[in-house]
Structure 1
Amino acid sequence: MVTKHGRRLTTLHPNQSAMPRRRVLLMASSMRGGGSELQTAMLARHLDRERFDVHLYLTEAVGDLLNTIPDDVVVHHPPESFPPRVLDWIPGGMLKRQAEWFRDLVERTQVDVIYDRTFHMTLIAGHPLVQRGSSVDRPRVSTIVSPPEVALPLVEKRFVRLKRRRLALAYRRSAVVIAVSDVARQSAIQYYGLPESLVQTIRNPVDADAIQSRRDNSEIPDRDSGDALKLVVVGRMTEEKGHATLLDAIERLMRDWPAPLPTLHFRLIGDGPLRAGLESRWKDMVLAAGPKDTIHRVEFAGAIQPASTEIAAADGLVLPSHFEGLPNVVLEAFVLGTPVVATRAGGTVELQGSADVPTCHWAVPKDPASLAGAIREFAGQAEQRRLHAVNANRFVLVNHDLRATVDRISDLLMSAGK
């Protein structure tokens, strides 16, 4: 089946043809383009409409990805601000307001199953107010996108112990918990004390057809054209994405760069709270080296959607992350045949099936010297880069198939609570 947007939906299983449609409520913070938002939008497009009536909850109804949501998906979002009350200022007060609004939404729309993804969505959907205030206990399928012992303290910052306890309770009340990698699964089991039977690994899929179609319909310059290697870095500029580590690595490469190797042009795609500081740091590096001795270049290009066109135009993708669940940008690079330099962060290590079939140049997370060494090797090994790209493309098409993954999640959404 194909929607009017031209996107193919998953096929109906023969033994489920007589089953009534389930009203599913997908959850995301916004549609600005983060990895989890991309995955949620993809699910909204590809869930079989003969099996599901699709609704989407957004904390904020903003972002370029809203344009990719089909017209038959009902989008819900709370008001931009709630009328103030004294209890909002105590820890958990605003979360309580969000949970109250969400509870009323669940009751009003009579959804059959909830798909909550990321820490904050689970805190809202799994809040005790939602369960106690509903006439029917709606089952939830929850998704954990990063190893929580690393991610939760970095992402949430405040009241981490309290949120850890609340998340552990919320996940235990889920019908099933999906982890996007084996690393994230084991971390969740240990960090939250979850039973192993509750948590299963379903790796992020990639919409290879859509990515390749965007490339075919875009004017993308040939790779390896010019004297410099064009390296793209895609990610929100927050601490865990490792941009500061990358600048440290580039500083080393400016001091020690063999003459035969091509110079490097790093194009940073994304925005975020650390951008101003990172740009200031790069300017200081240029001043310290002097314009004539600044052999490499760093360009802060800002947020660009979709990033796949930037990845397709690059000679390589660099992922300097401190942790990852399973990075979507690397999956896109694999589809597009763009070679990758990546840190062995979280589930990223699972993007290589075996040591004798390499897919990336690897570096140690949070280690500028290791990252600089990996980039230097990448620049000097053109044949190895091409071999990695071939291996990676084969790997992603076999292991991250969109149809197979959506079918697995669909089966969980259909059976949850039954």
Structure 2
Amino acid sequence: MPEEVQAALNQLHPLLAVDVLRLYWEFRTLRPEIVHAWLDWCNVRAGLAAALAGVPRIIVSGRNLSPRHFTLDADYFHPAYTALAAMSERRLALINNSQAGADDYAAWLGLPNHRIKVVRNGVQFSEGSRPSRQKALSIRALLKIAPSVPLIGGMFRFEEEKQPALWLRTAKHVATAIPEAQFVLYGQGGLRGEMEKIVRDLDMGSRVHFGGVVSPSTDALAPCDLLLLTSRGEGTPNVLLEAQWLGIPVVTTNAGGAGEAVVDGVTGKVVRSNDEASISAAVVEVLADETFRRRAGTEGPAFVSSTYGMDRMIRDTLDLYDLGKPSCSDGELS
């Protein structure tokens, strides 16, 4: 092993150094022209190992806001990313799946915004997988909700950054304005017990249904009249794309990349506050506007196909790979 590689490894936390060393030898053996990593834990390990192994082109991909916002942050993320970002742009590409995420990483690392490129998610739905009306009605029947009753859905991990308490308080406001409305929450997570307590405290036990985890997720969304998301932080929420592809209008907080994943005022509404009264007002407004909902039913699928299409994502990724492969000596970090 070159001395400069050993010296670099000696500066890392021992547990991180072990992971980087394993990947280093893997890359030295396989000699890839490109290493593409996703998510912070993998980005720092694969990125450092690829740099030390002399891989010509390295891509590290953020999928959310920077880790400083989340409990999974680690004390070595920032210095590792800083070391990687010191490499030339021809050698290392930093990307994110939303502009909000890219800007947040740039601010966190003290980089100019243009340093982190945006490659939006690619999703591919087939018309054959679109749930039938009969499927949607059967799910409503399981929930004991009549076809004509307004149904507001939510689908997310039951964790703090998704702000489930805000979702439930918003539901209470909506229920006051629309006495017949019902609500269904799909997902699982550590806050399930706390959420059930909030439902009881709000006296919403007969109005809020916990639907568990349903696959495919589009089956669970199909019976909903509106999809509500109240997160604090998001990358690109796939549930917003899934709902819009089904023609379901959405209401979301302006959390990270969530606001970019909606045509505000066309396929849904983006609420720029964490105030349940404001969020619920948007929900009530959409449900009361039949013209808006019909338009969302047409524009939503078109928006998802054009902005988040799989072919577009593949083209953007291949363009990123073809930016050039500079020569570098083994162990070169910049």
TM-score tier after normalising by the smaller chain length: 0.7 to 0.9
Say whether residues 1:99 and 2:7 are aligned partners.
Answer: no
**Counterpart residue number, 1:152:** 68
Shift of 1:394: 2.2
Residue from 374, 385, 398 that aligns with 2:282: 374
Preserved contact between residue 176 and residue 416 of structure 1 (Cα < 8 Å): no
Aligned positions of 1:229-378 closer than 5 A: 229-254=150-175, 256-259=176-179, 262-264=180-182, 266-286=183-203, 294=204, 297-353=207-263, 358-378=266-286
Residue from 59, 63, 78 that aligns with 1:164: 78
Once the two structures are superposed, what CA deviation does each residue of 1:264-316 show, in whole Å capped at 9, x if it has no partner? 2x222222222222223223333xxxxxxx48622222233321221223222
The aligned amino acid for 1:247 is L
Cα distance, 1:415–1:126 mapped onto 2, change above 3 Å:
same
CA distance in 2, matches of 1:229, 1:93: 55
CA distance in 2, matches of 1:329, 1:307: 8
- Scaled by the length of structure 1, the TM-score of the pair is 0.65
Residue from 116, 121, 124 that aligns with 2:42: 121
Say whether residues 1:199 and 2:109 are aligned partners.
Answer: no
Cα distance, 1:248–1:218 mapped onto 2, change above 3 Å:
closer
CA distance in 1, matches of 2:212, 2:56: 40
Preserved contact between residue 100 and residue 130 of structure 1 (Cα < 8 Å): no
Preserved contact between residue 99 and residue 118 of structure 2 (Cα < 8 Å): yes
The aligned amino acid for 1:369 is A
CA distance in 2, matches of 1:93, 1:248: 45
The structure whose RCO (Cα within 8 Å, separation 6+) is larger is: 2
**Counterpart residue number, 1:220:** 135
CA distance in 2, matches of 1:283, 1:350: 34
Shift of 1:340: 1.0
Is there any run of 5+ residues in structure 1 with no aligned partner, and where?
Answer: 1-90, 287-293
CA distance in 1, matches of 2:129, 2:196: 30
Say whether residues 1:142 and 2:60 are aligned partners.
Answer: yes
Shift of 1:196: 4.3
Preserved contact between residue 167 and residue 192 of structure 1 (Cα < 8 Å): yes
The aligned amino acid for 1:156 is L
CA distance in 2, matches of 1:268, 1:416: 47
Cα distance, 1:217–1:125 mapped onto 2, change above 3 Å:
farther
CA distance in 1, matches of 2:245, 2:148: 25
Once the two structures are superposed, what CA deviation does each residue of 1:127-148 show, in whole Å capped at 9, x if it has no partner? 3x5543x3x3352112222232
CA distance in 1, matches of 2:83, 2:314: 27
**Counterpart residue number, 1:408:** 316
Preserved contact between residue 142 and residue 171 of structure 1 (Cα < 8 Å): no
Q: How many residues align?
A: 306
Say what the alpha-carbon RMSD is for the aligned residues: 2.8
After the TM superposition, which of the residue ranges 97-106 and 272-281 deviates more from structure 2? 97-106
Shift of 1:409: 0.2
Shift of 1:185: 2.1
CA distance in 1, matches of 2:136, 2:245: 17
Shift of 1:258: 4.6
Give SS of 2:154's match.
Answer: strand
CA distance in 2, matches of 1:189, 1:376: 37
Cα distance, 1:99–1:416 mapped onto 2, change above 3 Å:
farther
Give SS of 2:80's match.
Answer: helix
CA distance in 2, matches of 1:116, 1:358: 35
Say whether residues 1:417 and 2:332 are aligned partners.
Answer: no
Preserved contact between residue 175 and residue 417 of structure 1 (Cα < 8 Å): no
CA distance in 1, matches of 2:28, 2:115: 26
CA distance in 2, matches of 1:104, 1:275: 43
Cα distance, 1:297–1:100 mapped onto 2, change above 3 Å:
farther
Cα distance, 1:253–1:411 mapped onto 2, change above 3 Å:
closer
Preserved contact between residue 343 and residue 362 of structure 1 (Cα < 8 Å): yes
Preserved contact between residue 270 and residue 302 of structure 1 (Cα < 8 Å): yes
CA distance in 1, matches of 2:156, 2:34: 31
Is there any run of 5+ residues in structure 2 with no aligned partner, and where?
Answer: 1-11, 327-334
Once the two structures are superposed, what CA deviation does each residue of 1:163-205 show, in whole Å capped at 9, x if it has no partner? 2232232344462122222222222222212344532222212
Once the two structures are superposed, what CA deviation does each residue of 1:12-60 show, in whole Å capped at 9, x if it has no partner? xxxxxxxxxxxxxxxxxxxxxxxxxxxxxxxxxxxxxxxxxxxxxxxxx
